[in-house]
Structure 1
């Protein structure tokens, strides 16, 4: 087993604790039997927890880290303890080449700061971006970036995000030529900031990249399945993500209240339960779990802090696919091709 086939797991990060992390990794092991794992954290606690997962024990190595990054800890404080925390050690294993990717459900700000400081950005990439999968009405999920790593972006950043997002969609969604759009306040060519319009002009001329540039898209069309990748600055992306998550919870709560409002509504709920279960499953963030820091010299996946074992398994699955398809190499090649074409 090569080091690139291993995934480093921050076993102590996340709200749900070690038991859920190990259960999720064990489920991922069943999905990807060729993968092995480096489980980072309190060695005694991890070995005790592994007694419940013999299939994972045979495919894992425990790496001791005595400390844990707290959920409310400032990134500047966490960085100073990187060498002794489960999060920092997991990232360092990627830097050392002992693991092909790292997965953590811990503090997002600390994970971002540690990953950027330890792994640095890839040659030709100015800034890394945070990408995630969102549910849509199409045949596939939607890749969206940046979701908060960069509050302000220039034209070059947006173009690089598009190249990275398309490469990621080819891996995560198994698409040959993903449809890529820029998030904007309108679909007309004259709409938006100078940076967005210029980024669109550059992407329209990128004829030999494995993507289809589809122009601008507005926020109300994100979930329609019309595109595969949506690119924006981190400020707009984070607002769009939180708004979508809040809307999903609002719809679910509204349906729950409606079905409880009368005896007739309760009967209606029983009749429509298969459809509501399908809706709940489609909107469940655990089924779309696994945000990725793109543009670093190493692969790092952020799992939801409150992810259940299904969510953790899906985050590990995202990491496994990126390692399998050598996402970093794909991004490097696509960016080189774009720059050569633009020269």
Structure 2
């Protein structure tokens, strides 16, 4: 019998058409009942849980790996070397001396000279640098034509190489053919041997630091100033306050945390000052009388010139402890400022 002569199936009760026998959910349930599919689903679920749980650690692991290799390990090894007497020529031959390398620094006049030079150069470079940065940021905070050009231009010294900038300043401060001495002679002042004098050499090194880092701090202050609400300035202007009074009573109080941050960062940078004084005259001794030798230069001279690895490591850890003290001072001052601000509010 052909399909044309087959009788149609009787309709279901109630006259409704019969439901299709194909059910997607039933098919999926039957597929899941397969042991292989169940194992695959479990593996996919397990991989998903592992991805959610461990992927963030994998993303941040490169930082910790590089920090452990190039930060933590050198720090620990330097601390271990500081407790031994060792030569740079034979670094594996170490003799335990305990804290002798640290106690010898108390009687080392060159260490105290380097510490004093680091402090004075840090003062005469940090204070003018931050004051100039604060003034420039205040000017750039107003609407100026071509302000973006000035912001990019003021950051150019920071992008300049330390070696290139220092060599240019070394030529400017040259005794016989320097442009600065030539300008001094035009106004009747005798030539100055900038590298020979204590204050002259430290002033010259400080000007390199000022020139290179003023623009960087200017942009930090400018970003903080732009976060101050304009309503405060408008209210002060309506009350008759001049721009100077607005700067004193509105801008400076709002910038206190930022100013403290730049002071601490500049102090840390001054403690680690190395490239500018080294390239200024190419002498790790910092002049014939160590007049501008910093702690970084003294550590370099002790390690690479005198070959005393243990003593150089002790100087490095002393600098590290100084930075910790600076950090603690920053923390205490921050707490004091926070409490005073809370009391005012």
TM-score range normalised by the length of the shorter chain = under 0.3
- TM-score (ref. length: structure 2): 0.25
Query: Which structure has more helix as a fraction of its residues?
Result: 2
Query: Which structure has more strand as a fraction of its residues?
Result: 1
- TM-score (ref. length: structure 1): 0.26
